[in-house]
Amino acid sequence: MRFPIRRKIFLLTALLSIAFIVVSVVTSSLIYNARMRASVMDQCEKSTKRLAEDIEQTKDGFLTKYKDKLLVKYENNYEDILKYSSDVTYSFEEKKEFFDELVSDLFPPKGAFGVTYEMIEFKNDYEDTLRSLDLIASSEGMIGGFIAFEDPERDNLVFMLDSTSNVSYQYNFPCSIERIVDQGIIDTIESGGIKKIESDDAFYCYAPIHDSDGNVVAYVSFYYSISTLMENQRQFIWTLIFIMLGATVFMLLAYLLTANKFIVKNIKKLSDSAIKFSSNLESDGKPEAVPVDIKTNDEIGALSDNFNVLQTRMITYIDDIANKTAQEERMQAELNIASKIQIESLPDKPLEKKNTRISSFIKPAKEVGGDLFDYFLLDDDHLFFVIADVSGKGVPAALFMMRGNEIIRSCATRGMGTSEIAEYANNELFRNNKEGLFITAFIGILDLKTKVLKYTRAGHEQPFLLRDGVAEKISEESNYVLGGFPKSKYIEDSIELKDGDKILMYTDGVNEGINGTNEEFGYDRIKETLESSKNDTLENMFNNLTEFASGVEQFDDITMLLLEIGKSARVELSNPTYNDIERVTEIARNTCSGADAEKLSEMSVIIDELLNNCISYSFADVDDPKLIVDVEYVNEKVTLTFTDNGILFNPLEAKPTDVDVDISERKIGGLGIMLVKDLSDKMEYSSKDGKNELKVIKKMTA
């Protein structure tokens, strides 16, 4: 749901006003509080000092006499005074009764018997001083004031006069005491200076009263209520809030009227025009502009003009995009077809022959790539393969590579050696090569009987040979690239491979693959991956390369070939007996060493069942029984081939035993073949030259 702009302006103004009110109130409150406290303390100090000076000038004799009389009462009745002053168990009435009786003889009522003029004058001075104390306190808005003197030995303050009403619980009775707990008060009193104190509930100010000799007779003190100050502050804050709220309401009304007239209406015009133009864009026909006319000399007027220009340019841009998109879609479709043709021209599955396996992996960086691989059998005993990489990327590289592939394949099928293929391909590729492209290649022909590999390396990456768990590069020397220089000579090298060897061939997209810090995958990581991979070597290599790249886009084609020489063994038996079964099983298990233990056990069962059947039933009428067992183990897969000259019989056509029939009625035989079929992945039977040949294929990984 959309939120109208007038509401946004309203809320924004309200929020800003509230924030301004809060800041203003807090700031004003702090300033008011600080100034009021300072003012109260200053006024308290002035009033205290003024009364002290007034008493010193007019009531010096009275205060000295009064203090002397109270001291007598104080010393003679200290324990009772202390008890009634500090013990909370006494009620106010009980305290009043005690202290009134204690000082009653100091202030005899009028007309009493024995009252002298001196006593009347003393009482008049007392009441006059008390009125001055009360007048100053009430006129300045203070809670009250009192006059007291210090008992330095006991750290007591002995009250003499108190302006508070004598019926108030805050009243300090004459001759009552209060413990001085503030060391600052004691220090000030002892030095005769003025002391200002702020407690949790009041402000206090103490000033000394001196006699004519300059000695401190007593102290006068006034105090303000903090609660009264806080109440004044609250009234100030509420007044300020009401003023600010009134100003805010006025601002909101002004903002709404202004925004609605000069902003909201014009923006709505722009919005309506944009909606109509957007609807035109979504229509099937050619979109039309929806101009908006706003004549204001401000940013909205400029926005209106720019919006009209934008519509015109967008219509032109959409037409251009539509044409380019159509062209790109045609090109993409053609590239997809080219990519499909290129991939389909390459071998699509591994090739296995005579305990030798070659497999491949390719991932172009673009729709079509400049990498190449190929492999096929020249005859039953020779395997041809090539891996190559074109300089450059994209369609030109792919076309140049397809040309090179056809030349190399044609040369190989005509029986040329690897160096001859390289020389012929180089000369053909050099002709009419105006773009200056060239191909690096590794060309090999493997004799499947002798396991001798003849190869020519034309500027290509050095392959890795994995033997006995250690990977090392082969072919230190290199020939020229193909198509680079005319009439170049190429040297053919050779290497004799052994059982269990692997050769990894790859293009530079593998070793030069980079990560986010431009670090290359490198030969060391290729070596480590090859040595650590028992199977799925090519997949592991690509996964490690992808993980190393950490999301960095592939910039070069990735192509790999893996040539694997399996382990093999042959056992030839004349007049085979049941005692030979254990020897054949042991040889097969040694050939497949390193395979899963459970799979080895299942293979042993297969050998046992098939040899038992062959020895038991194949040689009944044969004079010279012969049995040959071939074991080939490559790529975690074992192939067992059983060849015998016994009675021709295809065990795969035997009717399966009905396991649901009672064992006493079941025909003898058939269970062993069922078990072998169940434990095998594939079985093939053929007969040639009067011999039976049964081939059993089984995967040896869990």
pLDDT tens figures, 625-650: 999 999 999 888 899 999 999 899 89
Find all residues with CB under 8 Å of 472, minimum gap 6, and list them.
Answer: 464, 465
Q: DSSP character for 331?
A: H
Answer with the residue of higher pLDDT: 391 or 555. Answer: 391
Instruction: Choose the most confident range, by mean pLDDT, from 199-203, 250-254, 606-610.
Output: 606-610
pLDDT band at 118 (very low <50, low <70, confident <90, very high): confident
pLDDT band at 663 (very low <50, low <70, confident <90, very high): very low
Measure the N-to-C terminal CA separation of the chain; round to a whole number of Å.
59
pLDDT at 666 over 50: no
Q: What is the pLDDT of residue 374?
A: 94
pLDDT at 669 over 60: no
Q: What is the pLDDT of residue 473?
A: 94
Q: Find the mean pLDDT for residues 657-666.
A: 47
pLDDT at 270 over 90: no
pLDDT at 212 over 60: yes
Q: Find the mean pLDDT for residues 269-289.
A: 73
- Please give the Cα distance from 137 to 375 (Å, whole number): 116
Cβ(48)–Cβ(203) under 8 Å?
Answer: no
Find all residues with CB under 8 Å of 35, minimum gap 6, and list them.
Answer: none
pTM over cut 0.85:
no
Q: Which helix (H) or strand (E) element contains residue 365?
A: none
For the four alpha carbons of 30, 33, 35 and 38, in that order, the dihedral sign comes to negative
pLDDT band at 332 (very low <50, low <70, confident <90, very high): low
Beta bridge partners of 351: 358
Task: Note the residue count of the chain.
Answer: 702
What token pair was written down for 274?
A: 């944009």
Q: Phi/psi of residue 602, each to 5°? A: -65, -40
Of 610, 602, 464, nearest to 538 by C-alpha is 464
Widest distance between CA atoms in the chain: 171
Q: Find the mean pLDDT for residues 207-211.
A: 84
Q: What is the pLDDT of residue 532?
A: 92
- Please give the Cα distance from 393 to 563 (Å, whole number): 27
Helices 299-344 + 394-413 axis angle, to 10: 0
pLDDT at 206 over 90: no
Q: Are strands 558-565 and 567-574 parallel, antiparallel or unpaired?
A: unpaired
Cβ(354)–Cβ(570) under 8 Å?
Answer: no
Of 567, 545, 565, nearest to 557 by C-alpha is 545
pLDDT band at 674 (very low <50, low <70, confident <90, very high): confident
pLDDT at 664 over 50: no
Q: What is the pLDDT of residue 179?
A: 86
Q: What is the pLDDT of residue 576?
A: 92
pLDDT band at 158 (very low <50, low <70, confident <90, very high): very high
Cβ(36)–Cβ(225) under 8 Å?
Answer: no
Q: What is the pLDDT of residue 111?
A: 58
Q: Find the mean pLDDT for residues 24-40.
A: 68
Q: What is the pLDDT of residue 260?
A: 65
Q: DSSP character for 520?
A: B
pLDDT at 404 over 80: yes
Answer with the residue of higher pLDDT: 2 or 532. Answer: 532
Q: What is the pLDDT of residue 155?
A: 85
3-state secondary structure 138-160: HHCCCCEEEEEEEECCCCEEEEE
22-26, 145-149, 150-154, 161-165: lowest mean pLDDT where?
22-26
pLDDT at 408 over 60: yes
